[in-house]
């Protein structure tokens, strides 16, 4: 427009908005709820920072919101019924996992819904942790034979003091504390067996499902030298229906 | 008195010219800690 006001200075890239704006906060909250609901393994994530926010008009009267998020791992396993607000973010020295997510949302009639999300997670740098805490335990692969054996020992130990038999759902974390201790965290599911039933025929034991489904989460450690020392503590959550756990309903 | 004008900040050269809005503030605040 040769006659109208002339904009001067660099023009901002299309659709970019302030990351800490109310629309960014609102979209991030919807995105976090979606990510944690659809996250099937490991721990719930907490928002650390909105890296980028873009809002683009979409015909006839809606908007597309594109978010780039930086997330941190919490100590709540995905099966833990605690709301995210009550979950503690894992400290850096505990060798946590971080995630970067790109989320696309649609805003129609003022209501936001997620249309797609892609996340990439990775452990924090072991070198950085060693720099600030040389003796802190570092993550080791979940399929390491020592880890698998450790979890078997821990679950056996738990069953030795409990009548109900629980089966392993997944190993969620494993750390090596130099020189000879393995720390493991794992999720468990209640079954239709007692510990005695399981000792006779473990193959007949089935995880309880539907309204009967009951999950738990254990943290334990095994020190091998000088003598084997086993410590395990499990928290069993109140029975929950699959409706309350869309993750399980989708990917049982 | 000579006044040196900075060239990095755009200024309106003609009455009625408007400045583009400032670039958005991103990334946003850190809620927990910097990685």
pLDDT given for residue A252 in this prediction = 35
Give the residue from chain B lying closest to A55, CA to CA: B24
Q: How far is CA A144 from CA A121, A127, A139, A171, in A?
A: 20, 21, 11, 11
Q: Residue A190: is its pLDDT beyond 60? A: yes
Mutate to test the interface with A, among B7, B17, B20, B27 (most CBs of A within 10 A): B27
Give the residue from chain B lying closest to A25, CA to CA: B28
Residue B15 forms contact with A (CB below 8 Å): no
Q: Residue A246: is its pLDDT beyond 50? A: no
What lies within 8 Å, CB to CB, of A177 at 6+ separation is A137, A183, A221
- ipTM score of the complex? 0.81
* DSSP structure string for A55-105: EEEETTTEEEEEEEEEEEEEEEETT--S-GGGPPBPPGGG--EEEEEEEEE
Q: Is the Cβ–Cβ distance between A190 and A216 less than 8 Å?
A: yes
Going by pLDDT thresholds of 50, 70 and 90, the confidence category of residue A154 is: very high
Distance in angstroms between the alpha carbons of the first and the last residue of chain A: 60
What are the φ/ψ torsions at residue A177 (nearest 5 degrees)?
-100, 110
* Exposure class string for A77-95: b at 16+ Cβ within 10 A, else e: bbbbeeebeebebbebebb
Going by pLDDT thresholds of 50, 70 and 90, the confidence category of residue A99 is: very high
Where residue B21 falls (left for φ over 0; alpha for ψ -120 to 50; beta otherwise) is: beta
- Mean pLDDT value across residues A171-185: 93
Beta strands A111-123 and A97-108, pairing class: antiparallel
- Mean pLDDT value across residues B10-28: 73
Going by pLDDT thresholds of 50, 70 and 90, the confidence category of residue A54 is: very high
pLDDT given for residue B3 in this prediction = 72
Chain A residues with beta carbon closer than 8 angstroms to that of B20: 7-12
Q: How far apart are CA A221 and CA A223, in angstroms?
A: 7
* Chains A–B, number of C-beta pairs less than 8 Å apart: 84
pLDDT given for residue A4 in this prediction = 63
Q: Is the Cβ–Cβ distance between A24 and B28 less than 8 Å?
A: yes
Going by pLDDT thresholds of 50, 70 and 90, the confidence category of residue A243 is: very low
Option in A8, A46, A98 nearest B10 (CB): A8
Among the residue ranges A57-61, A114-118, B14-18, the one predicted with the least confidence is B14-18
pLDDT given for residue B35 in this prediction = 75
- Mean pLDDT value across residues A18-28: 97
């Amino acid at each position: 427009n040769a006659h109208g006001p002339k904009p001067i200075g660099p023009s901002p890239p299309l659709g970019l908005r302030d990351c800490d704006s109310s629309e960014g906060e609102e979209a991030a909250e919807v995105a976090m709820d979606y990510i944690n609901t659809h996250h099937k393994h490991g721990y719930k994530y907490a928002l650390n920072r909105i890296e980028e926010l873009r809002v683009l008009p979409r015909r006839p009267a809606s908007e597309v919101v594109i978010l780039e998020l930086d997330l941190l791992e919490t100590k709540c396993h995905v099966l833990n019924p605690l709301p995210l607000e009550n979950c503690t973010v894992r400290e850096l020295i505990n060798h946590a996992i971080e995630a970067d997510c790109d989320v696309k949302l649609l805003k129609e009639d003022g209501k936001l819904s997620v249309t797609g999300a892609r996340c990439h997670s990775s452990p924090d740098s072991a070198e950085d942790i060693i720099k600030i805490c040389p003796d802190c335990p570092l993550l080791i692969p979940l399929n390491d034979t020592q880890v698998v054996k450790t979890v078997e020992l821990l679950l056996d130990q738990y069953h030795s003091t409990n009548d109900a038999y629980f089966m392993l759902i997944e190993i969620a974390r494993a750390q090596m504390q130099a020189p000879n201790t393995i720390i493991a965290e794992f999720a468990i599911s209640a079954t239709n067996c007692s510990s005695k039933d399981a000792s006779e025929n473990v193959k007949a034991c089935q995880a309880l499902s539907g309204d009967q489904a009951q999950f738990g989460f254990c943290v334990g450690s095994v020190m091998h030298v000088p003598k084997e020392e086993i410590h395990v503590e499990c928290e069993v959550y109140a029975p929950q229906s699959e409706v309350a756990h869309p993750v399980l309903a989708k990917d049982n | 008195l000579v006044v040196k004008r900075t060239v990095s900040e755009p200024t309106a050269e003609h009455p009625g010219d408007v400045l583009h809005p400032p670039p958005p503030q991103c990334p946003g605040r850190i809620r927990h800690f910097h990685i």
